[in-house]
Amino acid sequence: MTYPVLLTIHLFCALFFIGTVFFEVLMLEGIRKHLPREVMRSVEIAIGSRARKIMPWVLLALFSAGIGMAWIRYLPVLASPLSSHLGAMLWLKIALATSVFGHFITAMTLRRRGKLHSLHFKRIHQSVFAHMVGIVLLAKWMFYAG
Protein backbone atom coordinates (compact mmCIF):
# COMPACT_ATOMS: atom_id res chain seq x y z
CA MET A 1 0.00 0.00 0.00
CA THR A 2 1.15 3.52 -0.63
CA TYR A 3 1.80 6.02 2.11
CA PRO A 4 -1.21 8.26 1.22
CA VAL A 5 -3.57 5.27 1.40
CA LEU A 6 -2.15 4.21 4.78
CA LEU A 7 -2.35 7.79 6.03
CA THR A 8 -6.01 8.02 5.01
CA ILE A 9 -6.88 4.73 6.71
CA HIS A 10 -4.95 5.81 9.81
CA LEU A 11 -6.69 9.20 9.97
CA PHE A 12 -10.21 7.82 9.57
CA CYS A 13 -9.65 5.07 12.12
CA ALA A 14 -8.12 7.60 14.54
CA LEU A 15 -11.13 9.88 14.06
CA PHE A 16 -13.48 6.97 14.77
CA PHE A 17 -11.59 5.76 17.84
CA ILE A 18 -10.88 9.20 19.32
CA GLY A 19 -14.44 10.35 18.61
CA THR A 20 -15.82 7.33 20.43
CA VAL A 21 -13.56 7.89 23.45
CA PHE A 22 -14.37 11.61 23.57
CA PHE A 23 -18.10 10.85 23.34
CA GLU A 24 -17.96 8.27 26.11
CA VAL A 25 -15.85 10.39 28.46
CA LEU A 26 -17.27 13.85 27.86
CA MET A 27 -20.86 13.19 26.80
CA LEU A 28 -21.91 10.01 28.58
CA GLU A 29 -20.33 10.95 31.88
CA GLY A 30 -22.06 14.32 31.65
CA ILE A 31 -25.53 12.82 31.28
CA ARG A 32 -25.07 10.13 33.94
CA LYS A 33 -26.45 12.31 36.74
CA HIS A 34 -29.51 13.25 34.64
CA LEU A 35 -30.68 9.72 33.87
CA PRO A 36 -31.99 6.97 36.11
CA ARG A 37 -29.35 4.37 36.91
CA GLU A 38 -31.11 1.56 35.00
CA VAL A 39 -31.47 3.73 31.89
CA MET A 40 -27.79 4.69 31.99
CA ARG A 41 -26.84 1.04 32.45
CA SER A 42 -28.91 0.12 29.37
CA VAL A 43 -27.20 2.85 27.35
CA GLU A 44 -23.76 1.66 28.47
CA ILE A 45 -24.59 -1.95 27.61
CA ALA A 46 -25.87 -1.00 24.15
CA ILE A 47 -22.86 1.19 23.36
CA GLY A 48 -20.47 -1.39 24.76
CA SER A 49 -22.03 -4.15 22.68
CA ARG A 50 -21.70 -2.08 19.51
CA ALA A 51 -18.15 -1.02 20.36
CA ARG A 52 -17.07 -4.63 20.95
CA LYS A 53 -18.16 -5.49 17.42
CA ILE A 54 -16.48 -2.53 15.71
CA MET A 55 -13.50 -1.39 17.81
CA PRO A 56 -11.26 -4.44 17.33
CA TRP A 57 -11.41 -3.88 13.56
CA VAL A 58 -10.89 -0.14 13.91
CA LEU A 59 -7.87 -0.71 16.14
CA LEU A 60 -6.48 -3.39 13.81
CA ALA A 61 -6.70 -1.00 10.84
CA LEU A 62 -5.41 1.95 12.91
CA PHE A 63 -2.33 0.12 14.20
CA SER A 64 -1.65 -1.68 10.91
CA ALA A 65 -1.75 1.58 8.99
CA GLY A 66 0.45 3.27 11.61
CA ILE A 67 3.03 0.48 11.43
CA GLY A 68 2.92 0.62 7.63
CA MET A 69 3.43 4.40 7.66
CA ALA A 70 6.37 4.07 10.05
CA TRP A 71 7.89 1.33 7.89
CA ILE A 72 7.55 3.27 4.64
CA ARG A 73 8.57 6.74 5.77
CA TYR A 74 9.96 6.91 9.31
CA LEU A 75 12.37 4.00 9.89
CA PRO A 76 15.48 6.21 9.70
CA VAL A 77 13.96 8.70 12.16
CA LEU A 78 12.88 5.90 14.51
CA ALA A 79 16.34 4.31 14.34
CA SER A 80 17.86 7.34 16.10
CA PRO A 81 15.00 9.02 17.96
CA LEU A 82 17.14 11.36 20.03
CA SER A 83 18.72 12.96 16.97
CA SER A 84 15.58 14.97 16.16
CA HIS A 85 12.43 16.34 17.76
CA LEU A 86 10.40 14.41 15.20
CA GLY A 87 12.00 11.12 16.22
CA ALA A 88 11.56 11.73 19.94
CA MET A 89 7.94 12.82 19.55
CA LEU A 90 7.16 9.94 17.21
CA TRP A 91 8.56 7.45 19.73
CA LEU A 92 6.49 9.08 22.48
CA LYS A 93 3.41 8.90 20.27
CA ILE A 94 4.09 5.21 19.60
CA ALA A 95 4.57 4.60 23.34
CA LEU A 96 1.23 6.27 24.12
CA ALA A 97 -0.50 4.31 21.35
CA THR A 98 0.99 1.07 22.68
CA SER A 99 -0.33 1.96 26.13
CA VAL A 100 -3.80 2.60 24.65
CA PHE A 101 -3.65 -0.84 23.05
CA GLY A 102 -2.67 -2.27 26.45
CA HIS A 103 -5.68 -0.55 28.03
CA PHE A 104 -7.92 -2.07 25.35
CA ILE A 105 -6.53 -5.58 25.98
CA THR A 106 -6.91 -5.08 29.75
CA ALA A 107 -10.54 -3.99 29.36
CA MET A 108 -11.35 -6.93 27.08
CA THR A 109 -9.65 -9.38 29.45
CA LEU A 110 -11.49 -7.98 32.48
CA ARG A 111 -14.79 -8.10 30.58
CA ARG A 112 -14.29 -11.72 29.53
CA ARG A 113 -13.51 -12.68 33.13
CA GLY A 114 -16.57 -10.78 34.37
CA LYS A 115 -14.43 -8.37 36.36
CA LEU A 116 -14.91 -5.16 34.35
CA HIS A 117 -16.77 -3.11 36.91
CA SER A 118 -18.02 0.43 36.51
CA LEU A 119 -15.00 1.87 38.34
CA HIS A 120 -12.54 0.00 36.08
CA PHE A 121 -14.50 1.08 33.01
CA LYS A 122 -14.44 4.72 34.08
CA ARG A 123 -10.73 4.76 34.99
CA ILE A 124 -9.71 2.99 31.77
CA HIS A 125 -11.72 5.45 29.71
CA GLN A 126 -10.26 8.45 31.53
CA SER A 127 -6.74 7.14 31.05
CA VAL A 128 -7.33 6.39 27.35
CA PHE A 129 -8.83 9.86 26.99
CA ALA A 130 -5.68 11.45 28.44
CA HIS A 131 -3.49 9.27 26.20
CA MET A 132 -5.53 10.25 23.14
CA VAL A 133 -5.18 13.96 23.91
CA GLY A 134 -1.41 13.43 24.10
CA ILE A 135 -1.34 11.47 20.85
CA VAL A 136 -3.36 14.10 18.99
CA LEU A 137 -1.15 16.92 20.27
CA LEU A 138 2.02 15.02 19.38
CA ALA A 139 0.65 14.21 15.92
CA LYS A 140 0.19 17.91 15.25
CA TRP A 141 3.30 19.21 17.03
CA MET A 142 5.90 16.72 15.82
CA PHE A 143 6.16 18.35 12.40
CA TYR A 144 6.50 21.86 13.80
CA ALA A 145 8.94 21.40 16.67
CA GLY A 146 12.39 22.95 16.22
pTM of the predicted protein model? 0.86
Please give the share of the chain, as a percent, with pLDDT higher than 70. Answer: 99
The answer, yes or no, to whether residue 146 has pLDDT greater than 60, is no
Contact 129, 22 (CB under 8 A): yes
Determine the average pLDDT of the residues in 2-9: 96
Please give the share of the chain, as a percent, with pLDDT higher than 90. Answer: 62
Determine the average pLDDT of the residues in 123-145: 92
Q: 39-87 pLDDT, tens per residue?
A: 988 888 898 889 889 999 999 999 999 999 999 999 999 999 888 989 9
Phi, psi of 114, rounded to the nearest 5 degrees: 75, 25
Phi, psi of 17, rounded to the nearest 5 degrees: -65, -50
The mean pLDDT value of the chain amounts to 91
Query: Distance between CA atoms of 28 and 44, rounded to whole angstroms?
Result: 9
